[in-house]
Structure 1
Amino acid sequence: MRAVTLTGQRLEVADLPVPQPGAGQLLLKVERCGICGSDLHCRLHADELADSLELCGYPRYVRSHERVVLGHEILGEVVDHGPWGRRTLKPGTRVVAVPLVRRGRQVDGVGLSAHALGGFAEYVVVQEALTLPVPSGLPAHLAALTEPMAVAWHAVTRGEVTRKDVAIVLGCGPVGLAVVAVLKSRGVGTVIASDPSAGRRALATKCGADIVVDPAVTSPWESATGHGFMSTMPDEYNAGIDALEGMARLPVPWWTAWRALDRLGATRPRRPVVFECVGTPGMIDGILAAAPLHSRIVVVGVCMGPDTMRPSLAVNKELDLRFAVGYTPLEFRDTLHALAGGTLDVSHLVTGRVGLDGVASAFTALTDPEVHAKILIDPSLDTDLILAG
């Protein structure tokens, strides 16, 4: 089969044997495979990522000296089954899959390990238990977005965002745009999106963002004023003193009144939910410095190198800092059906389509935020040109 291999930073098309599905696995003919930010990072920062994942107990992430076939955002057609499978997905079924494969008890990330070839190829092996049929009528370019949209679905879930919350999305690359779309699909009333790229800001508007700002011109934090957030510690101290002075006029002790208000949730401070979707050094510390008191911060962007932050900012503001990666199988399934049902509209995110011969040029094109958001690989295309999405 034809596949795009990565060794060091070199991408090239090669002829490889068609992989064979093992126990409980499926062989898919790849229909589409998205190029993810993780693929771009892997090309330039494989060893740094591998070092981090080794500390997490996974020593098989791709190293720069290894030859790997990238690609984990996969839509394909079932071709064959490995032994001892359920065989409920018949040949010809269009499917998407959580990109993990297991041999024995060893689990590898599809397209992110030299031990699990990815979807930048004509064929790929996936785990049958992690594979879902694509609902009838869902176009290929949307079905192929299931995996990256599931990442955003999980991040929003991690943020515990309600319809009444104000969400601030910093960075409108593919991940940030996906977060905006998921937030709006869940009915969040106010979504503020910030990015220096005019092209990405335009896409954020199409994804449903209520307020879109250029951070070089307007602070996203200023755009969130008027929602009762406290910006300074004296603001909170004054609010506490005002409350006590008001309760002193009540016919019950102030602590009795305070406990009653606690039970009603009236003393819970208002705060935005912030999604950091940039992943560059200094972003987290900048958010800690600028965010209102009690903000909940969900870090979705992956910073490749070491970073520093001032914990005293988070402590004194009582900020809630969370990190998000991946998704659960249920979130993956729910994302697929939200796409199929039309409640999650991200059709405008796909800005390009390319054959295997054009993958290297697509990697280059994706470095320009004004031109592309998501490029899908279509192995059936016999061209090295990037076609419109």
Structure 2
Amino acid sequence: VSGGVEGNTVLVIGGGPIGLGVVLMAIEAGASKVIVSEPDPVRRACALELGADAAFDPLSEKPAKAISAAGFRAPDVVFECVGAPSLLQQTVDVMARHGRGVIVGVCRTEDRFYPARAVGKQVALFFALGYTDADFDFVVRYLANNAERAGKMISQVVSMADLPDTFDRLQKQKSLVKVMMKP
């Protein structure tokens, strides 16, 4: 969907499990630089541990300014992995001219968007939904071959008996990245 990330600067908006998975795949696909925009410090640290080149807090610094201050050019490809209002516009605003935005997060409310900004930069936006069997096969092979790296996403391993409390905690504690249940 992204049209390829090899050799490109990639921004991932959102450092949750989906965004961190995108970080791993962007690195695997040969992105020249991978930058993550994520408000939670634990998730930012996880992104860096997984191999992202930089991570910043979008609530304390404007994304374009943070990217530039870190010494990176405007991203060629932006993956929006949150689905919150205003992030579609932020995707367009932060990407390079002729850039590509891949909207992975699903915003479930009305969102404001200024098409003239996208037209002026001649960007392309793609909205992703669904995966093929080949995608799942690729991910399974990737995880099997990169278990140590991908395992850094796991915040905690719990038993079946701990699941009810864990679901409650996941609703309140957004710092948890991925919780794995082990029978």
| Higher fraction of strand | 1
Deviations 1:255-311 (A, max 9, x none): xxxxxxxxxxxxxxxx61001011111211232234332221001112122223122
Contact 2:154 2:178 (C-alpha < 8 Å) held by counterparts: yes
Of 353-362 and 298-307, the range deviating more from structure 2: 353-362
1:354-369 → structure 2 map (5 Å cutoff): 354-367=158-171, 368-369=173-174
The residue aligned with 1:219 is 62
Distance, in Å, in 2 between the alignment partners of 1:358 and 1:228 is 45
Q: Which has the higher contact order (CA 8 A, sep 6+)?
A: 2
Question: RMSD of aligned C-alpha atoms?
Answer: 2.3
Deviations 1:86-122 (A, max 9, x none): xxxxxxxxxxxxxxxxxxxxxxxxxxxxxxxxxxxxx
The structural deviation recorded for 1:227 is 6.2
Distance, in Å, in 1 between the alignment partners of 2:38 and 2:113 is 22
TM-score, with structure 2 as normaliser: 0.85
The structural deviation recorded for 1:189 is 1.7
The residue aligned with 1:198 is 41
Aligned sequence identity (%): 32
TM-score, with structure 1 as normaliser: 0.43
Distance 1:349 1:357, change over 3 A: same
Distance, in Å, in 2 between the alignment partners of 1:228 and 1:171 is 19
1:281-300 → structure 2 map (5 Å cutoff): 281-300=85-104
Instruction: Pick the structure with greater CA Rg.
Output: 1
The reply on whether 1:333 has 2:137 as its aligned counterpart is: yes
Which amino acid in the other structure matches residue 57 of structure 2? D
Contact 1:338 1:344 (C-alpha < 8 Å) held by counterparts: no
Show structure 2 runs of 5+ residues with no match. Answer: none
Distance, in Å, in 1 between the alignment partners of 2:40 and 2:73 is 29
Aligned positions, number = 180
Which amino acid in the other structure matches residue 283 of structure 1? L
Distance 1:307 1:361, change over 3 A: farther
Contact 2:5 2:77 (C-alpha < 8 Å) held by counterparts: no
The structural deviation recorded for 1:228 is 6.2
Show structure 1 runs of 5+ residues with no match. Answer: 1-157, 230-270, 381-389
